[in-house]
């Protein structure tokens, strides 16, 4: 069974440019998470989806970050415009609804120059 797929794996952009990350969760997983992980830190939740509904986006900086999960499967996280401080690893995870175990993708490492 395929795991959580993320692309791209690495992205280097200049500040003020837009960037988008894509995530394909494990088939059948209703819940999808986007996390941000800074170097030496644990992941921090940005947004959680139950199917196509964003049920927790309280930590998402909505002035520059946006996310969508059309049709309740794949999801896209966008930053526009990117800032130097956005350099981090962006992780996607999925789980069956109302369960504890999350399955993580490999992450996208973003470098903003």
Partner 1 sequence: KNEVEQSPQNLTAQEGEFITINCSYSVGISALHWLQQHPGGGIVSLFMLSSGKKKHGRLIATINIQEKHSSLHITASHPRDSAVYICAVTGGAGSYQLTFGKGTKLSVIP
List of residues contacting partner 1 (CB under 8 A): 31, 37, 40-45, 48, 56, 89, 91, 93, 95, 98-107, 109
Residue with the two structure tokens 């999801």: 75
Q: Rank residues 37 and 66 by Cβ distance to partner 1 and give the closer one.
A: 37
Q: Rank residues 9 and 16 by Cβ distance to partner 1 and give the closer one.
A: 9
d(CA 36, CA 86): 9
Q: Rank residues 81 and 103 by Cβ distance to partner 1 and give the closer one.
A: 103
d(CA 76, CA 59): 16
Can you tell me whether residue 61 is helix, strand or coil?
coil
Q: Rank residues 77 and 91 by Cβ distance to partner 1 and give the closer one.
A: 91
Q: Is the peptide bond before 81 cis (omega within 30 degrees of 0)?
A: yes
Can you tell me whether residue 83 is helix, strand or coil?
coil
Least spacing, CB of residue 103 vs partner 1, in Å: 7
Least spacing, CB of residue 63 vs partner 1, in Å: 23
What the block records as the tokens of 64 is: 């520059």
Return the bridge partners of 32, or none.
49, 94
Least spacing, CB of residue 81 vs partner 1, in Å: 24
Least spacing, CB of residue 20 vs partner 1, in Å: 18
């Amino acid at each position: 069974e395929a795991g959580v797929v993320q692309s791209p794996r690495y992205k280097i952009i200049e500040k003020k440019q837009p960037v988008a990350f894509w995530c394909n969760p494990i088939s059948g997983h209703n819940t999808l998470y986007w996390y941000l992980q800074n170097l030496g830190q644990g992941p921090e939740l940005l947004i959680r989806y139950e199917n196509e509904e964003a049920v927790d986006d309280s930590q998402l900086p909505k002035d520059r970050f946006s996310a969508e999960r059309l049709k309740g499967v794949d999801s896209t996280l966008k930053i526009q415009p990117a800032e130097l401080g956005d350099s981090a690893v962006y992780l996607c995870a999925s789980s069956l609804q109302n369960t504890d175990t999350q399955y993580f993708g490999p992450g996208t490492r973003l470098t903003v120059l």
